[in-house]
Amino acid sequence: MPEQESQTEYSIDDAVDITDVVCPTTFVKAKVALEELDDGQILSIRMNDGEPVQNVPRSIKEEGHKILKLLDNRDGTYNLIVRKIEE
C-alpha cells in the first residue's frame, strides 16, 4: 500500500466539536469552523457515530476540502481531519 505523505503527517491547527448538534447543524458548525481557518490549515472535527459520521465527510468533500483521516475515538465519536482548501 503506497501511502501519501499528506495523509499520514499533519499537525492540527484547530478543533471543533459538533457532537452537541444534529443534522443539518452538524455540517453548518463544521463549515463555520473551516471558514475561520486559512488555506491549507488543518481542522479536527469531532462528530457522533451514526448519521454525522455517515454524512458530514461527504458534505465536506463536496465543499472542496481535503479529508485526510477519520479517527475512531472508541467512545462513540470520531475525529475527521480536514485540510482547508480555498476555492
| CA distances to 3, 26, 71 from 63, in Å | 24, 14, 21
- The number of residues that bind another protein (CB under 8 A) is 21
Nearest approach, Cβ of residue 18 and another protein (Å): 15
Q: Taking CB under 8 A as the rule, does residue 1 contact another protein?
A: yes
| CA distances to 2, 4, 30, 65, 75 from 79, in Å | 23, 19, 12, 15, 11
Q: Taking CB under 8 A as the rule, does residue 23 contact another protein?
A: no
Q: Taking CB under 8 A as the rule, does residue 57 contact another protein?
A: yes
Nearest approach, Cβ of residue 71 and another protein (Å): 7
Q: What is the strand order of the sheet 14-17 is part of? A: 14-17, 42-48, 77-83, 66-72
Residues forming the site for another protein (CB under 8 A): 1-4, 7, 49, 53-54, 57-58, 61-62, 66-72, 78, 80
